[in-house]
Amino acid sequence: MPTFLFHDVIFGPVISRRLGVSLGVNLLPTSSKFCNFNCIYCECGWTLNRKSPQFPTRELVNQLLIERLQERHAKHEKLDVITFAGNGEPTIHPHFPEIIDDTILARNQYFPEARVVVLSNATMLHNAKVVQALQKVDQAALKLDSAIDATLRLIDAPQMPLTAAQIEERMRAFGHNFTLQTLFLTGIYNGTVVDNTTPQEVEAWLAVVDRLRPRDVMIYTIDRETPATDLHKVPLEKLQEIAARVEALGVQTQVRG
């Protein structure tokens, strides 16, 4: 099914169903996706990593971001959030920590009320500098799509050995000040049933939420075309049912159906 790439370093603003008026920052190549996951639902398509990806430089990112912020500021246009997302995992960029510092400075100058948000798959939490950078932003949204290894491998296809327990351990070391984000979906992939909403899945995932106690949880489902065919949205009622169980643990939850 058709998916799409972000062809700019700074994109939008878009009205994000999760975040509001969002100016996006894409730290990955603008001509191809680059990620250490290969999620079957990724709106950027399949991961076909090149050996030498052309990351935008720290200087270019800063220059383009400041230009866009200045432009919006001069026109008195609203901005709720600067979101690091784009064509892959933003924390892979070799200068991610420095770019976060630049971004916070620029945000403070032009839109001090706007939040800086990073959507991350949490794979770089073994890197102390990445952790420090994520702890500086207003919202680090860290992905955990399943607490069961076989499902994690099926849905996210990490490009390295990685278990749900390792992700949990790294999140625990991060502390409580993060958003745990989970995309729920159902379907069939390569002849295998995909469903991270089964009772067994939800129990295992809730147990992780309870142990980690993040500041909040973001639950959502497929919204756009996916590279794997035969994947399905989870009905809003089901997402709300899962959210109610998270709330019962005392953890605030956002649902986007």
- Classified as helix, coil or strand, 53 is coil
For 215, the token pair is: 């500041």
For 83, the token pair is: 């979101």
If binding is defined by CB under 6 A, does position 146 make contact with ligand SF4?
Answer: no
Q: Which stretch binds ligand SF4 (CB under 6 A): 37-45, 212-220, 230-238, 242-250?
A: 37-45
Residue of 182, 176, 174 whose CA lies nearest to 218: 182
If binding is defined by CB under 6 A, does position 37 make contact with ligand SF4?
Answer: yes
Helix (H) or strand (E) holding 77: none
Which residue number, 47 or 253, has a Cβ lying nearer to ligand SF4?
A: 47
CB of 42 to ligand SF4, least distance (A): 3
Query: Which positions from 78 to 117 touch ligand SF4 by CB under 6 A, shown as an x/- string?
Result: ----------xx----------------------------
If binding is defined by CB under 6 A, does position 214 make contact with ligand SF4?
Answer: no
Burial of 88 (0-12, 13-18, 19+ CB in 10 A): buried
CB of 121 to ligand SF4, least distance (A): 4
CB of 15 to ligand SF4, least distance (A): 20
If binding is defined by CB under 6 A, does position 22 make contact with ligand SF4?
Answer: no
Residue of 180, 232, 173, 187 whose CA lies nearest to 209: 180
State how far the alpha carbon of 14 is from the alpha carbons of 22, 24, 165, in Å.
5, 8, 34
CB of 205 to ligand SF4, least distance (A): 17
Distance CA 101, CA 24 (A): 16
Find all residues with CB under 8 Å of 77, minimum gap 6, and list them.
13
Angle, CA 133 vertex, CA 92 and CA 88 arms, to 5°: 25
If binding is defined by CB under 6 A, does position 121 make contact with ligand SF4?
Answer: yes
Site for ligand SF4 in 39-68 (CB under 6 A): 39, 42, 44, 47
Binding stretches for ligand SF4 (CB under 6 A): 35, 37-39, 42, 44, 47, 88-89, 121
